[in-house]
Amino acid sequence: MNKAVIRRAFADVAHGQIHYRHAGSGVPLLLLHASPGSSRQLVSLIEDMADGTRIIAPDTPGNGDSTPLPLDVPEVADLARAILEFLDSAGLERVNLYGSHTGATIAGELAILAPERIDRLMLDGISVLSPDELEDVLAHYARPFPPDLDGAYLLRAFNFLRDQYLFFPWYSRDRAHRRDGGLGRAEDLHAWLVELLKASETYHLNYHAAFRWNAHERLPCITRPTLVFAAENDPLLESTRAVAPLLADGRFATLPRGDAADFRTIRATLLRDFLKAK
């Protein structure tokens, strides 16, 4: 099978422009990426799903090459409204919808805001935080990286991403919080860093909005058929499993580790089967 050709474009919205990747043809599937980074993180999923499907993957506002919202403290609902504007600008009347981590919160909120625009919803990893955990992550997890003349911000940004491979949360660098997957490829870490640096002073706003999003309150408001899932080595696996029963029309699945040889094939099969389900 030939690899999908992924093209890039911009759509005009009220607050600026949304950059997006797109590939394939057929029934549209909108993909919303995790934080930090951009739609580049979804290239493998775009490639795996583009055969017979039209894939559209925007950089969420304030990430990658998309204009940030003109808000000091945006909430997930603000991001969802911006993505709804993107759907209008891109001429997408109705879509299937996938979101990962931060993207899952935006996808869930979009399905509440405009259920008539969403057919099926797929949420890949949902965070649930206690009040103490929320206070901790808001204080420590994601901070801006303003440029400085000695380039120290570059090293801080690199370490922020590198340590996400090694610990969860990344700043708790001890045995109890160590992850067992090891580092990714240097090329992937470099590409991730480049995308982060495009939005080094705004990326954290979406992170914080996602941390504040209350899954226990919002998931019961979703009426669309929903698949909730996470990989075995996803730090959000157990919280995702715990909140899945809150959905009126939901089902839960576990994927193998993200570094498993057959991960991409199994993920694509899971999503395709759900999209075909009656």
Range 48-87 burial, b when 16+ CB lie within 10 A, else e: bbbbebbbbbbbbbbbbbbbbbeeeebbbbbbbbbbbbbb
Is 230 a residue whose pLDDT tops 60?
yes
Mean pLDDT for the stretch of residues 25-54: 97
CATH code of residue 52: 3.40.50.1820
Residue 1 has a pLDDT of 54
Residue 220 has a pLDDT of 98
Residue 227, φ and ψ in degrees, nearest 5: -105, 125
In a domain, 123, yes or no: yes
Is 3 a residue whose pLDDT tops 90?
no
Q: Kind of pairing, strands 16-23 and 53-58?
A: antiparallel
Mean pLDDT for the stretch of residues 118-137: 97
The pLDDT tens digits of the residues spanning 245-270 come to 999 999 999 999 999 999 999 999 99
In a domain, 17, yes or no: yes
Taking the C-alpha atoms of residue 79 and residue 258, their distance in angstroms, rounded to an integer, is 27
Provide the token pair at 37: 């980074």
259: CB partners within 8 A, 6+ apart: 181, 233
Residue 248 has a pLDDT of 96
Mean pLDDT for the stretch of residues 63-72: 98
Is 163 a residue whose pLDDT tops 70?
yes
Q: In the chain, what percentage of residues exceed pLDDT 90?
A: 97
In a domain, 61, yes or no: yes
In a domain, 70, yes or no: yes
In a domain, 1, yes or no: no
Is 37 a residue whose pLDDT tops 60?
yes
Number of domains in the chain: 1
Smallest CA-to-CA distance from 84 within 105, 62, 109 is with: 109
The pLDDT tens digits of the residues spanning 186-204 come to 999 999 999 999 999 999 9
In a domain, 141, yes or no: no
CA atoms within 13 A on the CB side of 111: 32
> 96 is in which domain, residue-wise?
7-129+205-276
In a domain, 108, yes or no: yes
Is 34 a residue whose pLDDT tops 60?
yes
Mean pLDDT for the stretch of residues 100-116: 98
In a domain, 159, yes or no: no
Give me the chain's average pLDDT, please.
97
